[in-house]
Amino acid sequence: MNDPECSRIEYCLRQLADAEAVNAAILAQYQALRDDPALERSHWFGGRYENVYVPRQRLPALEPVLRTAVEGAADFLRQPRLALSVGFWMNEMGPGHVTLPHTHDEDDELVSGVYYLRVPQRSGELLLYQGPATTRVTPREGLFVFFPPQVRHEVTENCSGELRLSIGMNFGVRRDAD
């Protein structure tokens, strides 16, 4: 996570160190439990649930990602000592899937973000809309993208023949221990 590319107003990109090994461990744990009917799912669209909520304790391999994400969100806010909480969900995008335009400013979020676990070529881009400007972010495995929660965003069509997997995140002020 060295030398982040940041535009403090619009978005910030960071790369996770050792992403290949971390992602492999997360993917193995997630695949072992992804079909568990006890997992909460939301946003039914196009024949799939966009969001799969996995309890943090069931994905211990995710801890390096969440620690780095909290640090990155605090840096994005220019408050590196701010104690933040993180809520997260898995986002599976199969071939032909899209994520429609939306924001994350329903509650008390300070920062939103995404982390990319599995990114086949041509599996969609993140579009961030700020006023008349549109920013296109081409994802890569191990990449974090941080942005304000009120920024409307979407993901273009997965034109690959494979599953793309990312982790959506929202960050707020930590009120008690995570």
What domains sit in the chain, N to C, each tagged with a CATH number? 9-173 (2.60.120.620)
Residue-level pLDDT, tens digit, the chain, 178 residues: 444 555 544 799 999 999 999 999 999 999 999 999 999 998 888 788 888 999 999 999 999 999 999 999 999 999 988 899 999 999 999 999 999 889 888 778 899 999 999 999 999 999 999 888 899 999 999 999 999 999 999 999 999 999 999 999 999 988 765 4
Angle at alpha carbon of residue 16, lines to 12 and 17, rounded to 5°: 140
